[in-house]
Amino acid sequence: MKKSICVVGLGYIGLPTSVMFANHGHKVHGVDVNASVVHNIGNKILHIEEDGLQERLNEAIDSGLLTVATTPVKAEVFIIAVPSPIREDKSANLDYIRNATAAIVPYVEKGNLVVLESTVPPRTVQDVMIPELVKSGLTIGEELYVSHSPERVIPGKVFTELITNDRIIGGVTEQSAQLTTDLYRSFVKGDMHETDATTAELVKVMENTYRDVNIALANELAKIAGNIGVDVWEAIRLANFHPRVNVHFPGPGVGGHCIAVDPWFLVELDKGNAQIINLARQTNDGMPSYTAQLTADILKAKGIEHPKVAVLGLAFKGNIDDMRESPSVDVVRELKALDLDVIAYDPHIKTDNIPEQTQVEGKALDNAAAIVVLTNHDEFTTMDPEEAAKCMSSKIIIDTKNCIDRTKWEAAGFEVYVLGNSKQ
C-alpha cells in the first residue's frame, strides 16, 4: 500500500531516500530548514553529487510525487534524516534530532509511523525523540509507532545499496518494527532484520567503529612498514589472502559523516570501556599531522626551501563531492603550520570551502615542488605526469592512497613516495 511520507532533512541520505520512495509510488513531502536547498530541489537543481540522483529527482518532481518545503505537512509516515555531528569536545550534538522531532509533533496523528534514519548514539530514540513525541498526546508504540532504521549506504553507490543492502529495523514495539519493514519493502531487496530501537542504534555505530579500528590498525602498520623498509600495501594484500583476515587500508586520515564520527558516540557513552575505540580514533585523527610531517621531511631532505605543495583532493572519498569530516582539510592546516605554501584542488568540489582552495588545477601545480594526493579521484589516478611536470619546480609526488601508476610517474622523472612504503 502506498503511503504519504514526510522526510525531514534533504541531505546526502534524506534526498536519495525521498526520491526513492517517490519513484516507487509514494507521495513524498521533503523538508529542509535551508530555503536555498528547498528552492533548488524544487527546480531539479542538485546540491550534492550522487550517481543517478539527477535522473531520479527529475522523475520524482515531474511525476508530482515529490514536493519540497521548509515546513512539514501531515502524513502517514515521518522519516527523520538530519545530521548528528560531534562538537569540538567530541560529544554528540543531538540538537538536529531533537529539533526535527519537535517540528513534526504538531502534524502527527494516531496510527502514524515515525522512523529515525540518522546515525545516533544508543538510546537517542528513547532519551531524545520519545520525550518530544509524547507531547503529541499519543501513546508511543500503541497510537504512534516509532522505530530506528539506520542507513547503510556508501556515497557514490547510494541507490544500489539502498536497494540491495540488508536493513536493520529497530522498533520501540514489535508492531513499530513490522510497519517499518512493510514500508521499506517497497524498494529494498535485501533482508530485513527486526530488533529493538536501542540495539539497532548500537549496531550501526558498531559497524562504523569496526571499520575505524581496522583502519587505525592499518595506519599503525603503515608507520611500522615505513620504518623497516616494507611496502605495507603489498603486505596487506598478501595478508588478506588468509581466509579469516581482512585488513583495511591506511591513508591520510578518516573522513565522512559516519566512520570519523560514530566511534566517539561510544567513547562518550562509556569511556572507561571504550579504550581501544578511543585509541583508534586518536590514531586516525593523528594521520593528517603524520602526513604533513612526512611531506615536510621529504622536502627538507631534498633541500628545497620555501616549497609550494599542491594538494590534490578535498573530498573524503574518491569521485564524490562530500567534504564532511574530510582529513584533507586537516592535512592542509597541518602543512601550513609547518610553514609550507599550500594550494588545494578538487575537481568535484565546485565551491571554495577553504582559503587555500582553487578551482584551477594548473594554478595548484604551477611552481609546486611536490604533489600530495589525498583523494583517489579518477582525475588524479589518470593524470599525465609529463603535463604535470611542465609547470612544477621539482618532480616529487606523495601518494597517500596508493592510487597512481608509480611506473608511469617514475618514467616521467618523478620521485614517488607512497604512504606506508619507504622505498622511494
What CATH number corresponds to the domain at position 273? 3.40.50.720
Give domain status of residue 57, yes or no.
Answer: yes
Indicate the residue among 196, 217, 251 that finishes a domain. Answer: 196
Domain boundary among 196, 218, 245: 196
Q: Is the pLDDT of residue 424 over 80?
A: no
- 311 and 180: one domain? no
DSSP state of 138: P
Contact 75, 106 (CB under 8 A): no
C-alpha 411/C-alpha 414 separation (Å) is 7
Query: Does residue 156 sit in the same domain as residue 302?
Result: no
Q: Please check whether residues 299 and 161 belong to one and the same domain.
A: no
Query: Which structural domain, as residue segments, surrounds residue 374?
Result: 230-424
Question: 122: which strand partners?
Answer: none
State whether 192 and 291 are in the same domain. no
Evaluate whether residue 217 is within a structural domain.
no
323 contact partners, CB below 8 Å, separation of at least 6:
255, 314, 315, 316, 329, 349, 353
Report if residue 205 sits inside a domain: no
Q: Is pLDDT above 90 for 408?
A: yes
Which burial class, exposed, middle or buried, applies to 223 when counting CB atoms under 10 A from its CB (0-12, 13-18, 19+)? Answer: middle
Same domain as 235, residue 379: yes
Distance CA 146, CA 79 (A): 10
Cell for 21? 520512495
Per-residue pLDDT averaged across 364-382, rounded?
Answer: 97
Residue 215 counted as domain residue: no
**Domain shared by 139 and 248, yes or no:** no
Same domain, 267 and 337: yes
Q: Is the per-residue pLDDT at 422 higher than 70?
A: no
Domain count for the chain: 2
Helix (H) or strand (E) holding 123: none
- Condensed to tens digits (0 to 9), the pLDDT of residues 48-67 reads 999 999 999 999 999 999 99
Burial of 106 (0-12, 13-18, 19+ CB in 10 A): exposed
Residues 74 and 136 in one domain: yes
Please report which confidence band the pLDDT of residue 1 belongs to, taking 50, 70 and 90 as the band edges.
confident
The dihedral through the CA atoms of 282, 354, 324, 307 has a sign that is negative
Residue 304 covered by a domain: yes
Percent of the chain with pLDDT over 90: 98
Question: Residue 35: is its pLDDT beyond 80?
Answer: yes
C-alpha cell at 140: 508511543
Q: Is 209 a domain residue?
A: no
Check whether residue 151 and residue 236 sit in a common domain.
no
Amino acid letter for position 57: L
Same domain, yes or no, for 175 and 283? no
- Where are the alpha helices (H) located in 275-339, listed in sequence order? 275-285, 287-301, 327-337
- Give the domain-ending residue among 148, 179, 196: 196
DSSP class of 366: T
pLDDT for residue 245 is more than 70: yes
Encode pLDDT of 78-121 as tens digits: 999 999 999 999 999 999 999 999 999 999 999 999 999 999 99
Torsion-angle region of 29 (φ positive above 0: left; ψ -120 to 50: alpha; else: beta): beta
3-class DSSP state for residue 38?
Answer: helix
In whole angstroms, give the CA distance from residue 208 to residue 287.
18
Q: By CB neighbour count within 10 A (0-12 exposed, 13-18 middle, 19+ buried), where does 302 fall?
A: middle
What pLDDT was estimated at residue 315? Answer: 97
Is residue 72 scored above 70 in pLDDT?
Answer: yes
Give the residue numbers annotated as catalytic, written as ranges. 204, 258
Helix (H, G, I), strand (E, B) or coil at 318: coil
Half-sphere exposure of 111 (CA within 13 A, CB side): 5
Q: What is the pLDDT of residue 296?
A: 97
CA distances from 301 to 90, 295, 335, 339 (A): 37, 10, 16, 16
Percentage of residues in the chain with pLDDT exceeding 70?
99
DSSP string over 233-278: HHHHHHHTTSTT-------S---STTTTTHHHHHHHH-TTT-HHHH
Helix (H, G, I), strand (E, B) or coil at 60: helix
Gyration radius from the chain CA atoms: 23
CB of 53 closer than 8 Å to CB of 16: yes
Question: What's the rounded Cα separation, in Å, for the pair 120 and 197?
Answer: 11
pLDDT in tens, 170-213: 999 999 999 999 999 999 999 999 999 999 999 999 999 999 99
For residue 80, what pLDDT is reported? 98
Please name the residue ranges forming H helices in 29-157.
Answer: 35-42, 53-63, 95-104, 124, 130-133
Is the domain of 96 the same as that of 178?
A: yes
Residue 77, in any domain of the structure: yes
Q: What is the dihedral of CA 178, 181, 185, 190, to 10 degrees?
A: -130
**Contacts (Cβ under 8 Å, ≥6 apart) of 265:** 92, 120, 121, 122, 205
Verify that 186 and 243 share a domain, yes or no.
no
Q: Is 107 part of any domain?
A: yes
pLDDT in tens, 131-173: 999 999 999 999 999 999 999 999 999 999 999 999 999 999 9
